[in-house]
A and B are shown apart, each in its own frame.
Chain A
Amino acid sequence: MNDISNLRATLSELDDLLVNCMRCGMCQSVCPVFQDSMLEGDVARGKLALIDGLAKRMIDSPVAVKERLDKCLLCGSCEANCPSGVKITDIFIKARTVLTAYIGLSPVKKAIFRGTLIHPRFFTGLLSMGAKFQWMATSKADPFLGTSCSKIMSPLIGNRHFLPLAKRPLHKDYSGVDTGKGTAGMRVAFYPGCVVDKMLPQVGHAVIKVLEHHGCGIYLPKNQGCCGIPALASGDEASFLKLLKHNLKPFSQGNYDVLVTPCATCTSTIKKLWPKMAAKISPEAEKKAQRIADRTMDISEFLVKTFDVDLSAHAVVGEKKTVTWHDPCHLKKSIGVSAEPRTILKGLPGYEYAEMNEADTCCGNGGSFNLLHYDTSSRIGAKKRENILATGADVVATGCPACMMQMTDMLSQGHDPVAVKHIIELYADAL
Chain B
Amino acid sequence: MISGNLKKEFEILLGEKNVMSDEVSRMNYAYDAAVLDPVMPALVLRPESSEQLGDVLRLCGENGIPVTVRGAGTNLSGGTIPYKNGVVLLTNAMNKIIEINEADMYAIVQPGVVTANFAAAVAAKGLFYPPDPGSQKVSTLAGNVAENAGGLRGLKYGVTKDYLMGMDFFDAEGTLVKTGSKTVKCVTGFNVGGLMVASEGCLGVFNEITLKLIPPPKASKSMMAVYDSVADATESVAAIIAAKIVPCTLEFMDNFTIRAVEDYAKAGLPVDARALLLIEVDGHPGQVADEAAVVEEICKKHNASRIQVAKDDEEKNKVWEARRAALSALAKLKPTLVLEDATVPRSQIPEMVRGLDTVAAKFGLSIGTFGHAGDGNLHPTILCDRRDTKEWHKVEAAIEDIFDLALNLGGTLSGEHGIGIAKSGYMAREVGEGSMNYLHKIKNAVDPKGILNPGKVIGD
Binding site for B on A (CB under 8 A): 15-16, 19-20, 22-26, 28-29, 38-41, 46, 49-50, 53, 58-61, 64-65, 68, 83-85
Contact = CB atoms under 8 A, between A and B. Distances in A.
A25 B328 CA distance: 13
A1 to B, nearest CB: 18
B32 A83 contact: no
Contacts of B32: 23, 25
A19 B331 contact: no
A129 to B, nearest CB: 42
A431 B378 CA distance: 59
Interface in B277-328: 327-328
B175 interface: no
Contacts of B386: 19
B135 A26 contact: yes
A49 B38 contact: yes
Contacts of B327: 83
B72 interface: yes
Contact of B72 (A25, A50, A59, A64): A25
A85 B335 CA distance: 10
B33 A49 contact: no
Contact of B74 (A24, A58, A61, A68): A24
Contact of A59 (B24, B328, B331): B24
Interface in B85-122: 92-93, 95, 114, 116
B391 to A, nearest CB: 13
Interface in B46-86: 72-74
Nearest to A17: B335
A84 B328 contact: yes
A46 B328 contact: no
A60 B23 contact: yes
Given A24-B135, A58-B38, A38 B27 contact: no
Contacts of B337: 22, 84
B27 A59 contact: yes
Contact of B387 (A19, A26, A84): A19
B27 A83 contact: no
Contacts of B25: 39, 41
A385 to B, nearest CB: 21
Which are the 8 A-B pairs with shortest beta-carbon distances? A29-B137, A40-B28, A83-B328, A84-B331, A19-B335, A28-B138, A64-B24, A53-B27
Contacts of A28: 72, 138
A16 B334 CA distance: 11
Contacts of B332: 84-85
Interface size class of B (residues with CB under 8 A): 35 or more
For B28, B38, B331, which residue has the most chain A Cβ atoms within 10 angstroms? B28
Contact of A20 (B23, B40, B95, B335): B335
B262 interface: no
Contacts of A53: 24, 27, 30, 38
Contacts of A24: 33, 74, 135
A49 B137 CA distance: 21
Nearest to B117: A29
A64 B40 contact: no
Given A22-B337, A24-B135, A84-B328, A61 B31 contact: no
B201 to A, nearest CB: 17
A88 to B, nearest CB: 14
B82 to A, nearest CB: 13
B181 interface: no
A373 to B, nearest CB: 15
A24 B72 CA distance: 10
Contacts of B22: 61, 64
B29 interface: yes
A339 to B, nearest CB: 16
A182 B240 CA distance: 67
B162 interface: no
Contacts of A65: 24
A38 B92 CA distance: 7
B336 interface: yes
Contact of B23 (A23, A38, A39, A64): A64
A84 B327 CA distance: 8
Nearest to B385: A19
A23 B385 contact: no
A29 B72 CA distance: 10
Given A19-B336, A25-B135, A26-B137, A41 B328 contact: no
A83 B326 CA distance: 10
Given A22-B331, A26-B138, A83-B331, A49 B31 contact: yes
A41 B28 contact: yes
Contacts of B27: 49-50, 53, 58-59
B183 to A, nearest CB: 34
A64 B29 CA distance: 15
Nearest to B35: A22
A22 B73 CA distance: 12
Contact of A46 (B28, B34, B74, B138): B28
Nearest to B25: A41
A268 B37 CA distance: 37
B317 to A, nearest CB: 17
A22 B138 contact: no
A118 B353 CA distance: 61
Nearest to B332: A85
B90 to A, nearest CB: 8
A15 B327 CA distance: 22
Contact of B28 (A22, A50, A61): A50
Nearest to B329: A83
A22 B384 CA distance: 12
Contacts of B38: 49, 53, 58
Interface in B429-460: none
Given A40-B73, A84-B337, 18 more contacts: A19-B385, A19-B387, A23-B33, A25-B32, A25-B73, A26-B138, A29-B138, A38-B93, A39-B28, A40-B28, A49-B30, A53-B27, A58-B40, A59-B27, A64-B23, A83-B328, A83-B331, A84-B332
A32 to B, nearest CB: 14
B26 to A, nearest CB: 8
Nearest to B32: A23
B31 A59 contact: no
B33 A61 contact: no
Nearest to A18: B335
Given A28-B138, A61-B24, A64-B22, A85 B73 contact: no
B386 to A, nearest CB: 7
Interface string B320-358: 000000011001100111000000000000000000000
A267 to B, nearest CB: 25
B33 A68 contact: no
A29 B30 CA distance: 20
B137 A22 contact: no
Interface in B1-46: 22-25, 27-35, 38, 40
Contacts of A15: 387
A26 B25 CA distance: 19
Nearest to A67: B24
Q: Which of A25, A46, A68 has the most CB of B within 10 A?
A: A25
Contacts of A20: 335
Contacts of B29: 40
Contacts of A46: 28
Given A41-B24, A59-B23, A59-B27, A25 B33 contact: yes
B40 A25 contact: no
A84 B381 CA distance: 14
6 contacts: A16-B335, A22-B33, A58-B30, A64-B22, A83-B331, A84-B328
Contacts of A49: 27-28, 30-31, 38
A25 B138 contact: yes
A168 to B, nearest CB: 47
Contacts of B74: 24-25
A24 B40 CA distance: 18
A60 B40 CA distance: 13
Nearest to B327: A83
